[in-house]
Structure 1
Amino acid sequence: MPELPEVETTRKGLLKAIEGDVIRGVEIHTSALRFPLPDNMHERLAGCKVLDIARRAKYLMIRLSNGHELLVHLGMSGRFQVFSPGSAKPPRQKHDHVIFRTRRGCEVRFNDPRRFGFMALLATTEVNNHKFIRDLGPEPLGNSFNGPALAAKLYGRRTSIKSALLNQKIVAGLGNIYVCEALYHSNISPKRGAYTIQGVRAERLAVSIKHVLLLAISAGGSSLRDFRHADGGLGYFQHQFAVYGREREYCPRCEITDRLEGCIQRISQSGRSTFFCSQWQR
Structure 2
Amino acid sequence: MPELPEVETIKNTLLPKLVGRRIGEVTVTLPRIIKKPAPEEFVSLVVGKEILDLSRRGKYLLLHLSERYFLVFHLRMTGRLLYLPAAVPVDKHTHLIFHLDNGEHLRFHDLRTFGTIYLVQEGELASIRGLASLGPEPLGPQFTPAYLEDALAGRRIAIKGALLNQELLAGLGNIYVDESLFRAGIHPARPAGSLTEDEISRLHRAIGDVLREGIRYRGTSFRDYVDGEGKAGGFQERLAVYGRGGQPCVKCGSPLQRVRIAGRGSVFCPCCQPSGSNVD
Q: TM-score under structure 1 normalisation?
A: 0.93
| CA distance in structure 2 between the aligned counterparts of 1:122 and 1:189, rounded to whole angstroms | 41
Q: How far off its partner does 1:35 sit?
A: 4.3
Give the conservation status (yes or no) of the 8 Å contact 1:80–1:109. yes
Superposed CA offset, 1:159-189 (max 9, x none):
0100110111111111001000000000111
Give the conservation status (yes or no) of the 8 Å contact 1:10–1:80. yes
The residue identity in structure 1 corresponding to 2:112 is R
Q: How far off its partner does 1:210 sit?
A: 0.7
Q: How far off its partner does 1:81 sit?
A: 1.5
Give the conservation status (yes or no) of the 8 Å contact 1:38–1:119. no
Equivalent residue for 1:277, pick from 263, 269, 273: 269
Q: How far off its partner does 1:105 sit?
A: 2.2
Secondary structure of 2:252 counterpart: helix
Q: How far off its partner does 1:198 sit?
A: 4.2
1:3 aligns with 2:20: no
1:64 aligns with 2:56: no
Corresponding position of 2:132: 134
Summarize the Cα distance change of 1:223–1:37 in structure 2 as closer, same or farther, 3 Å threshold.
farther
Give the conservation status (yes or no) of the 8 Å contact 2:36–2:119. no
Equivalent residue for 2:151, pick from 132, 149, 153: 153
Q: How far off its partner does 1:34 sit?
A: 7.7
Q: How far off its partner does 1:191 sit?
A: 1.2
Corresponding position of 1:266: 258
The residue identity in structure 2 corresponding to 1:7 is V
Q: How far off its partner does 1:90 sit?
A: 2.3
Corresponding position of 1:251: 249
| CA distance in structure 1 between the aligned counterparts of 2:73 and 2:38, rounded to whole angstroms | 11
Corresponding position of 1:241: 239
Q: Write out aligned runs for 1:25-44 (5 A).
A: 25-33=25-33, 35=35, 38-39=38-39, 40-44=41-45
| CA distance in structure 2 between the aligned counterparts of 1:206 and 1:111, rounded to whole angstroms | 34
Q: TM-score under structure 2 normalisation?
A: 0.93
Unaligned runs of 5+ residues in structure 1 are none
Give the conservation status (yes or no) of the 8 Å contact 1:34–1:117. no
The residue identity in structure 2 corresponding to 1:197 is L
Give the conservation status (yes or no) of the 8 Å contact 1:79–1:230. yes
Corresponding position of 2:176: 178
Summarize the Cα distance change of 1:37–1:10 in structure 2 as closer, same or farther, 3 Å threshold.
farther
The residue identity in structure 2 corresponding to 1:15 is L
Give the conservation status (yes or no) of the 8 Å contact 1:37–1:118. no
| CA distance in structure 1 between the aligned counterparts of 2:63 and 2:111, rounded to whole angstroms | 22
Tell me how large the CA RMSD over aligned residues is: 1.5
Q: How far off its partner does 1:33 sit?
A: 2.2
Identity %: 40
The residue identity in structure 1 corresponding to 2:228 is A
Q: How far off its partner does 1:130 sit?
A: 2.9
Corresponding position of 2:212: 214
